Structure 1
Amino acid sequence: MITGKTKTLAILADPVTHVRTPQALNQRFAEAGIDAVLVPLEVPAKALQATVNGLKACRNFAGFVVTVPHKTTVPAFCDVLSARAAAAMSVNVIRRGADGLLYGDLLDGEGFARGLERAGIEVAGKRVFLAGAGGAASAIAFALAARGIAALSIANRSTAKAEALIARLAAQYPALECHAQADPSDHDIAINGTSLGLNADDPLPFDPAALSKGTLVAEVIMQPEVTALLTAAEARGLRIHTGKYMLEEQLNEMLSFLTRDMGEVL
């Protein structure tokens, strides 16, 4: 039951109808006996700063989960960023501390990498193709680089954005072979790190027919669970990895991060 003592949180997205985090995180709150609720807010880009600033002023507001298309915009509205969020220039979770400040972190990459590990997929020494250079893709790139992948190819509609991500990776992982490339062939793992696949009429982020035999095809899209990309990959006999792994591995981290100061928020 929601009362005047309930801590409130929000997930910021546009659109918001596809999100699954509220259902999953609210279930975790209930199971842990935490008096908190996470609600979905559909916030257009032009209203993002006003929304964040307004909720920051609410003393019983505990934090945000942030998703498409706001992950690379909200870092500017945070008071403190974690090292990985600052390096990737992206945030997907924000805690309002007991001091009233907003603390931003990036859990996408860790969630994705841990999801691969839980599925028994070793990434060290692998050649990885990554579609996208936005918030989720940047987080994944840094998490995989930290786990010792051999090479990373990044494909993005904006080559400049891909090259900017490569420059940030090079500053932290100078030994990593990393370049902008649209061809997904000759890779061990091919990842969709874009929002393509949320809608039924979206184009594929890359062509599964171009993938080499034995390539693992992985998704960040959580709904639908099996996207058109994964369906096409399965039709070619390729192994697939759905976005649910990433979500499940993020939930514990999100729960810990968002509730750290919850007893003192009021």
Structure 2
Amino acid sequence: MSRHPVVDGATRILGIVGDPIAQVRAPEVWTGLFHLHGLNLLCLPYHVAPTDLPAFFAGMRRIRNLAGMIVTIPHKPASVDLVDALTERARIVRSVNFIGIRTDGSWLGDIVDGIGFVENLKMSDADPAGRRTLLVGTGGVGTAIAFALAEAGVSDLVLHDRDTARSASLAERLTALGWPVRAGAPDPDGFELVVNASPAGMKDGDPLPVDAARIAPGSIVADVIVHETELLRRAAAIGCRTIDGTGMMDHQLATMAAHLGLGAHDFSAATARRVAAAVRG
């Protein structure tokens, strides 16, 4: 296997843009995977405010060694209008979390958050098929997860967002596709799967997205945040199975790698976890 310097004049860049950005794991995981496979690529973080995103993307389009761009909170919905084309799922979800650069230089927006989230549930012995499910948070990541949960065959999907118009609109769109989805209150009572797709819990002292005391023992409680949140701690204390957001990213890697033209290499979740463990010592 060939090896490259950490960086040289031929290095290509996979960017990740967000606000904030310091919490993301992507740069260390992706760069570790690139090094493992002898690829002269780096993943670099970019902290960009929402008002500056159009100008940032316009500038990045002029960088000829840009391989692609990961998009994270809060830029996923806005990125829909800043790419040249969308995959079918990104068009339906109206959100983008990965931008692939095609051979003609045009930007293709895709959304693979939901794919990664559902695959992580399945690999954690928590297949959502047939489960009554409550999803809190219908921003970019929540919208993608709602679409993927409905597609995975949940028996009933209730959506809640502080912006009630947003959750109601998403419920209408998914219902129109023939899925059992409705907007409702963030009450976890009676649900077999409770999902937090909101930022609540990212910082210490954040309010809980749901009343943890109303979660039934034995339920599955999942969070998109990549560390153990207060919601997950309280759910575990009453006997729930808990799943954080770490694996969600890992299970997106193969789809993203295919956009980068790297589908022949191993970008599985298991390899990503080994790389992350090695990087962190």
TM-score class normalised by the smaller sequence: over 0.9
Matches within 5 A, 1:1-266: 1=5, 2-172=7-177, 174-222=178-226, 225-259=227-261
Q: How far apart are the structure 1 equivalents of 2:19 and 2:151? A: 30
CA distance in 1, matches of 2:199, 2:257: 24
Post-superposition Cα deviations, 1:1-55, rounded to whole Å, max 9, x if no partner, equal 2122111121101111100011111111111222111101100001001101110
CA distance in 2, matches of 1:5, 1:180: 52
Does 1 or 2 have the higher relative contact order (CA < 8 Å, sep 6+)? Answer: 1
1:84 and 1:179 mapped to 2: Cα distance? 21
Unmatched segments (≥5 aa) in structure 1: 262-266
d(CA) in 1 for partners of 2:260 and 2:76? 17
- Aligned-partner residue type, residue 179 of structure 1: A
String of CA shifts for 1:132-190, please: whole Å, max 9, x gaps. 01111111111111111111111110110001111221122x24242322212110100
Looking at structure 2, the residues matched to 84 and 234 of structure 1 have their Cα atoms a distance apart, in angstroms, of 33
Q: Counterparts of 1:179 and 1:155 in 2: how far apart (Å)? A: 6
RMSD value, Cα: 1.4
Q: SS where residue 29 of structure 1 aligns? A: helix
**Contact 1:26 1:38 (8 Å CA) reproduced:** yes
CA-to-aligned-CA distance 1:42-100 (integer Å, 9 cap, x gap)? 00001001101110121111111011111111110011101111101111000122211
**Counterpart secondary structure, 1:185:** coil
User: 1:7 & 1:54 partners in 2: Cα distance?
Assistant: 16
Structure 2: gaps of 5 or more residues? 264-281
Aligned equivalents of 1:227, 1:252: Cα separation in 2 = 27
Cα distance change, pair 135–170 in 1 and its aligned pair in 2 (3 A):
same
Percent identical among aligned pairs is 36
Question: CA offset at residue 252 of structure 1?
Answer: 2.2
TM-score with structure 2 setting the length: 0.88
